[in-house]
Amino acid sequence: MSSKKKELLSTAMKRTSEWIFSQEIPSDVTVQAGEASFSLHKFPLVSKCGYIRKLVSESSDADLSVIEVHDVPGGAEAFELAAKFCYGINFEISTENIAMLRCVAEYLEMTEDYAVGNLVGRAEAYLNEVALKSLAGAVTILHLSEALLPMAEKVKVVGRCIDAIAYIACKESQFSMSGRVASGTDLLNSSLASHPKHIVDWWAEDLTVLRIDVFQRVLIAMMARGFKQYALGPILMLYAQKSLRGLEVFGKGRKKIEPKQEHEKRVILETIVSLLPREKNAMSVSFLSMLLRAAIYLETTVACRLDLEKRMGLQLGQAVLDDLLIPSFSFTGDLLFDVDTVQRIMMNYLECETDGNPFSYNADEEYVSPPPSDLERVGKLMESYLAEIASDRNLNVSKFISLAELLPEQSRVKEDGMYRAIDIYLKVHSHV
Residues 6+ apart with CB under 8 A from 270: 295, 300, 301, 304
The DSSP call for residue 363 is T
Q: How far apart are CA 198 and CA 326, in angstroms?
A: 26
pTM of the full structure: 0.80
pLDDT digits (tens, 9 = 90+) for 40-91: 888 889 999 999 999 888 877 767 888 998 899 999 999 999 999 998 888 9
pLDDT of residue 220 exceeding 50:
yes
Beta strands in 179-298 (DSSP E): none
Compute the average pLDDT of residues 8-37.
66
pLDDT-derived band of residue 410, with 50, 70 and 90 as boundaries? low
Asked if the structure places residue 80 within a domain, the reply is: yes
Beta strands in 73-223 (DSSP E): none
The answer to whether the beta carbons of residues 162 and 221 sit under 8 Å apart is yes
Cis peptide before 358 (omega within 30 of 0): no
Q: What is the DSSP secondary-structure string of 199-224?
A: ---TTGGGGGGS-HHHHHHHHHHHHH
Question: What total number of domains does the chain contain?
Answer: 2
Asked if the structure places residue 396 within a domain, the reply is: no
Is 191 found in the same domain as 146?
Answer: no
> Domain range for residue 127?
3-153
pLDDT-derived band of residue 20, with 50, 70 and 90 as boundaries? low
Q: How far apart are CA 346 and CA 73, in angstroms?
A: 53
Asked if the structure places residue 76 within a domain, the reply is: yes
pLDDT of residue 195: 35
Asked if the structure places residue 144 within a domain, the reply is: yes
From 322, 341, 370, the end of a domain falls on 370
Is 144 found in the same domain as 229?
Answer: no
pLDDT of residue 187: 39
Length of the chain: 432
Is 183 found in the same domain as 127?
Answer: no
Is 239 found in the same domain as 321?
Answer: yes
Is 189 found in the same domain as 146?
Answer: no
pLDDT-derived band of residue 94, with 50, 70 and 90 as boundaries? very high
Asked if the structure places residue 160 within a domain, the reply is: no
pLDDT-derived band of residue 350, with 50, 70 and 90 as boundaries? confident
Q: Which of 50-64, 95-109, 245-259 has the highest mean pLDDT?
A: 95-109
Compute the average pLDDT of residues 240-267.
79
pLDDT digits (tens, 9 = 90+) for 172-204: 775 344 333 333 333 344 433 333 344 456 788
Asked if the structure places residue 411 within a domain, the reply is: no
Collapsed DSSP state (helix, strand, coil) of residue 154: helix
Residues 6+ apart with CB under 8 A from 1: 9
Asked if the structure places residue 18 within a domain, the reply is: yes
383: phi then psi, degrees, rounded to nearest 5? -65, -40
Is 303 found in the same domain as 183?
Answer: yes
Q: Judging by beta carbons within 10 Å of its beta carbon (0-12, 13-18, 19+), is residue 208 exposed, middle or buried?
A: middle
Is 84 found in the same domain as 185?
Answer: no
pLDDT of residue 292 exceeding 70:
yes
Q: How far apart are CA 312 and CA 94, in angstroms?
A: 46
**Mean of pLDDT over the chain:** 81
pLDDT of residue 239 exceeding 90:
yes
pLDDT digits (tens, 9 = 90+) for 130-155: 999 999 999 999 999 999 999 999 99
Is 188 found in the same domain as 125?
Answer: no
Is 198 found in the same domain as 103?
Answer: no
pLDDT of residue 5: 46
pLDDT digits (tens, 9 = 90+) for 352-379: 766 654 444 454 544 454 555 778 888 8
Is 135 found in the same domain as 221?
Answer: no
Helix (H) or strand (E) segment spanning residue 33: strand 29-33
Q: Which has the higher per-residue pLDDT, 397 or 107?
A: 107
Asked if the structure places residue 47 within a domain, the reply is: yes
Is 353 found in the same domain as 220?
Answer: yes
- Of 7-16, 234-243, 402-411, the range with the lowest mean pLDDT is 7-16
279-298: b (≥16 Cβ within 10 Å) or e: bbbbbbbbbbbbbbbbbbbb
State the CATH number of the domain containing residue 102: 3.30.710.10
Which percentage of the chain shows pLDDT scores above 70? Answer: 78
Is 102 found in the same domain as 233?
Answer: no
pLDDT of residue 79: 93
